[in-house]
Structure 1
Amino acid sequence: MSRRLWICGAVVVALVVAGVGYVHWRHDDTTSLRWAVDHAPAGAQRLSWTDWAAVREQEHTDLGSTSSATRLHQFLSRAYDDDLSSASALVTSARVLQQRFGFSPASADWELFSQAEQGAVVMLHLPSADLSDVADRLGELGFRAPSDPDGVWDGGPDLLARISPGLTGELQYVAVDTHDSLVLTSDSASYLAVAVAAVRGKGATTTGLDGVVSDAGEPLSAEVYAGDYACAALAMAHAGAADQAQGRQLLAAAGQVNPYSAFAMSDEPDGTVRVAFEFDGPDTARTNADTRAALARGPAPGQGGSFGERFGIDSVTARGSLVVMRLRPKPHASVLSDLSTGPLLFATC
């Protein structure tokens, strides 16, 4: 099946390598995904998560900050083929990050890329040993150091272009948080300052996503949408006229479809893809569980073919105000990167 590497510009959240194997990085007994989302700046509408430590474990790859660019490329190629890297904002910049910045998917624990109307920011958790080298590297690259050690390193588009023309704009400005072992980056210095304040408990953080994020557990990668964003991004209006007509017929046959307040889709360690929608109450959830189950067994207008060609359905259940779908991808199917932009199965309004 042909694939498109879907990258929005920048990256998501966490595991720490510890001797043999790995252990999940936690904070106050929450999952690393939950911690990262809880510390994203207020107004985040789309949050894209990659647990790099878990993905490296999944791919049986032992990498670190000193690994070669060739080995990093081989790892990212396998992660791409397995649909585990599509949520990252840093993949296209990975080689330069590894060679010159002192961090990359080879050594990061996790990455969260959050997007809001006001701006976008990448939150990256690093082992503390690697974090100590980042500030020195930034200075060598030409970033202007902040007067406050916890402030924003000033780079800008011209500096980034001199370092490498292939770097994502989300790396123009950088902040280093030694307390939580984080590197945060953005294409806006002012928005990065807002994100830093949110991480440190001095600014408002995103809300309304707790139910779907908690249901996701500790995924390898995930997409989390607020309801308003999902309504615009996953609408049948993005499909062609013929696909829209077919979509209306399928929706009419399947039953009622209601807007939801939050959505999460995640690649789970057991190989399944988990989808959670949050509705306004149990009755609406039960109605939409039946509707979504019917849609998931039919054609996929706007994407081509059928959903059955992409995945099997383990279960579709209503749990309180949530509808939870457990999908089992077919061999070589790119379910997360394909369906997280799908206009029918996740249509809301």
Structure 2
Amino acid sequence: MPRRLWVVAAVVIALVVAAGGYLWWRQDDRTSSFAWAVDHAPGGTQRLSWTDWAAVRQHEHAALSTRSSAADVRRFLDRAYDDDLTSTSALVTSAPVLQQRYGFSPASADWELFSQSYQGAVVMLHLPSSVDLDDVADHLGDLGYREPDDPDGVWLGGEDLLARISPSLTGELQYVALDRGDDLVLTSDSAAFLGVAMDAVQGHGATVTGLDGVVDDAGEPLAAAVYSGDYACGALAMAHAGAADQTAAKRLLAAAGEVNPYSAFAMSDQPDGTVRVAFEFDGDETARTNADTRATLARGPAPGQGGTFPDRFTVTSVTARGSLVVMRLKPRPDASVLSDLSTGPVLFATC
């Protein structure tokens, strides 16, 4: 082959390889950490609580590491609590002890996903590469957890062990599993369910379904609450309110228009300071109907919560996008919208 043609061919091959690598990177880049975590939650999960600890630390200008003191961690968590960024975590009360004795905590974790179902609950914590999971294993052994024969197995602790370590530890730390391939620590109050969760993470078991639309809409939130439709319709039902509030809610619903059940719900604190709420309906027409109704409800009284929704936030927009209804809310100063409205009863989240 003439030298000029050989050079051209080599350049073409290099460009094809580079393009292929770029396309692979772009495909991988489209999956947020939030979406990845939810996609690896156990099948049957009804409620998920997300905290992006790295983003929350950045938001609070907290320069923390595994070497930071428990007092520094407490100060960070106090500031994050005031900004309504910790209500979704299962580890806040345990954080100082985790920092001192476990080798990881919200001071060093990338993110946390707390998954709950009728079968069990599990905390999934992603750690940066700077945290060595072998060091975490050493800490677990020193604390008294019984090491599994399989590196991916469950470290056995239990209620008595947690009580000896510290009374401030959540029961979700009774059993621990380490997934070195994905830099994950998983914890649960059930050894059996923790095994189920590990199977889901590693692709050997069923994972949660039906939440993609509302999760993808949230992007990369600082904190988020995600519910299946069935769970949300129970947890956020106006039936939890008093009789007078239920009567008021019925009048408001009659005036606002038609509402329909939804299959998934997500509320998230966004990096720009707004709160985003997404509902997944059974089709485009249902979504359009509910966009109008729920926009009306979200701008009115808040029976069961007290006061009005405008006391808590301004509705920036309510849009129907395919089968999704998406609300963008601007919280009032000092309003804790996510922690306040991700627990029922909430009128505009009614089924």
Could you tell me how far apart the structure 2 residues matched to 1:245 and 1:123 are? 41
Q: Name which of 244, 253, 256 aligns with 1:251.
A: 253
CA apart distance, 1:298: 0.6
Could you tell me how far apart the structure 1 residues matched to 2:344 and 2:335 are? 14
Could you tell me how far apart the structure 2 residues matched to 1:143 and 1:49 are? 27
* AA of the residue aligned to 2:83: D
Name the SS of the counterpart of 2:233 in structure 1. Answer: helix
Q: 1:268 aligned to 2:291?
A: no
Residue deviations 1:231-260 (CA, integer Å, cap 9, x gap): 110100000000000011111111111100
Q: Name which of 153, 156, 159 aligns with 2:158.
A: 156
TM-score by length of 1: 0.91
Alignment of 1:73-222 (within 5 A): 73-130=74-131, 131-222=133-224
Name the SS of the counterpart of 2:320 in structure 1. Answer: strand
> What's the counterpart of residue 14 of structure 1?
none
Name the SS of the counterpart of 2:347 in structure 1. Answer: coil
Name the SS of the counterpart of 1:54 in structure 2. Answer: helix
TM-score by length of 2: 0.91
CA apart distance, 1:189: 0.2
Conserved in 2, the CA contact under 8 Å of 1:121 and 1:184? yes
Name the SS of the counterpart of 2:339 in structure 1. Answer: helix
| The structure with more helix, counted as a fraction of residues | 2
* AA of the residue aligned to 2:152: D
Name the SS of the counterpart of 2:272 in structure 1. Answer: coil
CA apart distance, 1:166: 1.3
Could you tell me how far apart the structure 2 residues matched to 1:103 and 1:142 are? 17
Residue deviations 1:90-128 (CA, integer Å, cap 9, x gap): 001011000001111100000000001000000000012
Q: Give 5+ residue unaligned stretches, structure 2.
A: 1-25
> What's the counterpart of residue 297 of structure 1?
299
Could you tell me how far apart the structure 1 residues matched to 2:312 and 2:43 are? 35
Count of equivalent residues = 324
> What's the counterpart of residue 28 of structure 1?
28
Q: Name which of 307, 328, 351 aligns with 1:326.
A: 328
Could you tell me how far apart the structure 2 residues matched to 1:98 and 1:210 are? 33
Could you tell me how far apart the structure 1 residues matched to 2:277 and 2:344 are? 13
CA apart distance, 1:133: 1.3
Name the SS of the counterpart of 2:208 in structure 1. Answer: coil
CA apart distance, 1:179: 0.2
CA apart distance, 1:346: 3.8
Could you tell me how far apart the structure 1 residues matched to 2:125 and 2:33 are? 11
Could you tell me how far apart the structure 2 residues matched to 1:111 and 1:269 are? 17
CA apart distance, 1:165: 1.0
> What's the counterpart of residue 63 of structure 2?
62
Residue deviations 1:53-79 (CA, integer Å, cap 9, x gap): 000000111101110111111100000
Q: Note the aligned Cα RMSD (angstroms).
A: 1.1
Structure 1 range deviating more: 52-61 or 339-348: 339-348
Could you tell me how far apart the structure 1 residues matched to 2:269 and 2:82 are? 13
Conserved in 2, the CA contact under 8 Å of 1:236 and 1:347? no
Name the SS of the counterpart of 2:204 in structure 1. Answer: coil
Answer with 1 or 2: which has the greater Rg: 2
> What's the counterpart of residue 14 of structure 2?
none
* AA of the residue aligned to 2:223: S
Conserved in 2, the CA contact under 8 Å of 1:49 and 1:112? yes
Could you tell me how far apart the structure 1 residues matched to 2:345 and 2:123 are? 26
* AA of the residue aligned to 1:326: R
Percent of aligned pairs with the same amino acid:
77
Name the SS of the counterpart of 1:314 in structure 2. Answer: strand
Could you tell me how far apart the structure 2 residues matched to 1:148 and 1:344 are? 46
Q: Give 5+ residue unaligned stretches, structure 1.
A: 1-25
Name the SS of the counterpart of 1:132 in structure 2. Answer: helix
* AA of the residue aligned to 2:127: L
Could you tell me how far apart the structure 1 residues matched to 2:27 and 2:102 are? 26
> What's the counterpart of residue 43 of structure 1?
44
Q: Name which of 266, 270, 283 aligns with 1:281.
A: 283
Could you tell me how far apart the structure 2 residues matched to 1:230 and 1:348 are? 8
Conserved in 1, the CA contact under 8 Å of 2:303 and 2:347? no
Could you tell me how far apart the structure 2 residues matched to 1:181 and 1:315 are? 38
Could you tell me how far apart the structure 1 residues matched to 2:57 and 2:326 are? 27
Conserved in 2, the CA contact under 8 Å of 1:27 and 1:35? no
